[in-house]
Structure 1
Amino acid sequence: MSRFIPEGKSDMKALEQSEALASAKYESEEKEKEAVSLYEQMRRNHIIKEKEFQEKVKQRNQLNKIGERELRFYQELEKKKEEKELSKKREIEGELSRFESLKKSKLQESKSNSVAKLNLSKTTSIKKKVTVKPKITKTKESIAQNSPKKDSEQRGVNIKQSRASGLVTGYSSSSEEED
């Protein structure tokens, strides 16, 4: 059989009608696209993108089912954490009770010691021996007499001038040396 259709057997009218329908449909779609304003097109695109984003977020936020093995692992971790907390709590309570007992015993000891001290202080009296320490004072004259003359001469300071100016022996300012 040949693939060619003889001229008389073809249904040209049906073919033309289907082509006319297709072209009319295409033209109507084109008119709709052209009639939509830029604002409407952007709004549609925004809505489409927003839906896509919401789907991605939804997929990301879905709860993952964990297996039995993972569940046991997490339960063991929680048990270990609780055991550590309990041991810390017990240790703190033990230290606190020991501290309180020591505090009570010290308080009782101090009460018994204060009573004994009161009894001892009434029966015996202790006098402190007061010692007087001699005060050593030097006057400016004794310092001037004890200081060697060479020392004062090396510094270029006259002792009498320093007394009048109120400076301690052996000190002078650079302005006095220039004068």
Structure 2
Amino acid sequence: MIDAIDELVARSRDHHELRRFHQFHRQHPEVLDFLVSEIRLRIEQGFEAFSYHSLWQYARWKLELKSGPADTYLMNDHTAPFYGRAIAILHPEFNGRAEVRGSVADKVFGTELEPAPKKRTKGYARRLRWADGKSLEQGWRPTQPHVVGVAGVNKRADIHPRNED
């Protein structure tokens, strides 16, 4: 079954890291669902921003614990920028909530960083846009939007209550 990542990859420039990203996604679609679910949870908890790097490391930890020591899989750091770009493209409501730096993933997906303003406001994070200057919201959209839950992500919040002793 074709999903939003398949469509995004099909319209992208071929690159060996894109092929690795796509192969990993096909084998582990739960990673994308986990990442998007955790971003939504963080925003629902009142946070305005998140870090793709921290989220990637957290996903490694949680997904490995869930699968157990017999089913460990490698989450390559070179794949993380591809996930960050894919998430911003498929869920443009997250665009501008995480600081991003230029990456080979921009050339592959056809994105770029918006120009930085001369004066940055508090909490500012550069947004991604399409290489033609259009916002992610106004450019290409998949015919099959990404829907969390298809891969069976646990939607229970991983928030620990404070000890009030």
Please say whether Structure 1 and Structure 2 have the same fold, judged by a TM-score greater than 0.5: no
**TM-score bracket relative to the smaller structure:** under 0.3
Per the normalisation by structure 2, the TM-score is 0.15
Q: Which has the higher contact order (CA 8 A, sep 6+)?
A: 2
- Greater Rg by CA: 1
Give the structure with the higher percent helix.
1
